[in-house]
Amino acid sequence: MFAIHTSTRCRHDGHSKHVPAVLHLVAEDWHVSNAESKDTNNRRHRAQNDRIVFLDKLFTVSFGQCYSIIPSLFLFFIMLAVVHQPVTAQPARSLFSSDSFLVFIPFSNQSGFSGNWNLSVDIPRFAAAYTRQRFRVGIVSPEYVRTFAIDRSIDTNEMTRVANLKMIAEHFRTRFIVTADIQEFSISRFMVSEVQLAGYEAFSAEVKIYFSLYDAAQFGTARTPVVYEGEAEGIVKDRGLGITLFGKRTDRTNKYFALDEIAFGSEAFVNTIIGEALLKCMDDLGAKLERSIPSLVSKSVVLSSSVIIDSTKTDPAIAITRKLLNGEIVMVDEDDVFISLGSADGIVVGDILPVFGGESPVTDPGTGIVLGTREERVGEVQVIEVRADHLCLALIVTGKGLIEPKHRVRKVFVR
């Protein structure tokens, strides 16, 4: 109980005098009593003590013939705001931040590779850099996740448990999580030759992962958090006359024997046959992520005040860049379209290409001045057949009736 003693000027029998007022704060209600003059006290005492006024209902005060009650009411409302401020539920902090969209957990290496590279971290680190370049979104690399796991005493072999994935998503404020098993990471060399004479040499490389994509928004709900599960694979084969006269090695052969000396993800690595296979594997992974997360291609990155790390920063150790390939719709035939891109442009069956139509102005919201234009996306097409070096057939996925000849298509390459 709190008691506050004040006085108010009241008028009784034509005389003005100060009357002490006592306000009692009890739990959820205010009990108001007033020590009035003796001749009115007996008449009002019982009614005044029985008057209970709740905060969330009507508040009434009776001080007899008081005509100057403002000071007491002012003090009462100060106590109402300070002492008995109602407790309201604060809005929950959003789990997801606009700066971090995907997090890559260190992969499990089941490939049997025994070289100097640490594939469990190197491959997801490469995948994080690739995805960041391709989609221009905030990506959390596995190095940060590994450091977080060590700080929280989480066994690296237990990071894929749902409870740990939920903890990681909450810490980095990411919406989607990628885990994977590395099933294949190999380089093969086949050679037929006569000693000290020219011969036949062939190389092949394969990278294959089995990955799972989780939606952290589904943790703790009745729905499964797994958005997609499947393989991503890249295979490269290189054949040709590899050994010249007197058994001199080719550049491919030299790279093959010097692989362990090359930094993973460097420019020299990307130019090796295993680097090419890894990029093909990432192309496959990126296409499947794009189909599983429609907002991935349209996600805008805005660093927020709640950022844990700068997940939009490029990894200087990974030597890959983003390139755009532009083409046009040359013909529309009901659900099919022909596009001026083909095998020589790197187009493969299964590619999903956005289609852009007209342009809309971009204006300054303050001045209304037109600053430029932006392309309007009218639909998507998926390549179903590569017909020639610069021609392919695609199926309209979205935007039927809106896609027209001369509309532009675009493919993003990360190399």
Read off the pLDDT of residues 337-349 as tens digits, 9 standing for 90 and up: 999 999 999 898 9
Q: Which domain holds residue 142?
A: 102-296
Domain-located, residue 314: no
Evaluate whether residue 30 is within a structural domain. yes
Instruction: Tell me if the pTM is above 0.85.
Output: no
Q: Is 24 within the bounds of a domain?
A: yes
Pair (63, 147) in one structural domain: no
Residue 5 carries which side chain, given as an amino acid letter? H
Residue labelled with tokens 């391709």: 134
Is residue 212's pLDDT more than 70? yes
Q: Which of 82, 115, 134 delimits the end of a domain? A: 82
Instruction: Report the pLDDT averaged over residues 287-301.
Output: 73
Q: How many domains does the chain have?
A: 3
Say which CATH number the domain at 393 has. 2.40.10.410
Mean of pLDDT values over 251-266? 84
Same domain, yes or no, for 53 and 133?
A: no
Distance CA 171, CA 177 (A): 12
Identity at 395, one-letter amino acid code: L
Domain boundary among 48, 82, 116: 82
> Which sign, positive or negative, has the C-alpha torsion 135, 138, 144, 146?
negative
Question: Does one domain contain both 168 and 281?
Answer: yes
Judgement on whether residues 170 and 249 belong to the same structural domain of the protein: yes
The residue out of 82, 112, 146 marking a domain boundary is 82
CA 266 – CA 371 distance, rounded (Å):
39
Whether residues 131 and 7 share a domain: the answer is no
Short-list 200, 7, 174, CA closest to 95: 174
Question: What are phi and psi for residue 38, nearest 5 degrees?
Answer: -65, -40
Q: What does the longest C-alpha to C-alpha distance in the chain come to?
A: 131
Verify that 75 and 107 share a domain, yes or no. no
pLDDT for 71 equals 54
Together in a domain, 158 and 249: yes
Token pair in block for residue 23:
């306000």
Q: Which residues pair with 363 in a beta bridge?
A: 370
Give yes or no: residues 251 and 337 share one domain: no
- For 173-192, b/e burial (b = at least 16 CB within 10 A) is bbbbbbbbbbbbbebeeeee
Q: Does residue 317 lie within any of the structural domains?
A: no
Residue 180's nearest CA partner among 101, 115, 129, 106 is 106
pLDDT given at position 244: 55
The tokens describing 172, both together, are: 């980095």
Helix axes 142-151, 162-172, angle to 10 degrees: 110
Q: Would you say residue 47 lies in a domain?
A: yes
Q: Which of 32-41, 221-230, 231-240, 375-384 has the lowest mean pLDDT?
A: 32-41
Residue 31's Cβ-count burial label (10 Å; 0-12, 13-18, 19+) is middle
Give how far Cα 126 sits from Cα of 141, 153, 165, Å: 9, 25, 20
Average pLDDT of 230-252? Answer: 74
**Predicted pLDDT at 332:** 96
Structure confidence at residue 100 (pLDDT): 67
Residue 308 lies in a domain: no
Whether residue 90 is contained in a domain is answered as no
- List, for residues 137-155, the tens digit of each pLDDT value: 889 999 999 999 999 999 9
- The verdict on 136 and 48 lying in the same domain is no
SS3 assignment for 12-23: ECCEEEEEEEEE
Assigned token pair, 179: 């885990």
| Lowest-confidence pick of 107-116, 164-173, 365-374 | 365-374
> Which CATH number does the domain housing residue 278 bear?
3.40.50.10610
- Distances in Å between the Cα of 41 and the Cα atoms of 35, 69, 241, 302 are 7, 18, 117, 68
- Give per-residue pLDDT as tens, 27-48: 333 333 344 444 545 555 454 5
Check residue 252 and give its pLDDT: 73
3-state secondary structure of 333: strand
On whether both 227 and 362 belong to a single domain, the answer is: no
Is residue 185 domain-resident? yes
Q: Looking at the structure, do residues 359 and 277 belong to the same domain, yes or no?
A: no
Residue-averaged pLDDT of the chain: 77
Q: Are residues 146 and 258 in the same domain?
A: yes
- Predicted pLDDT at 173: 87
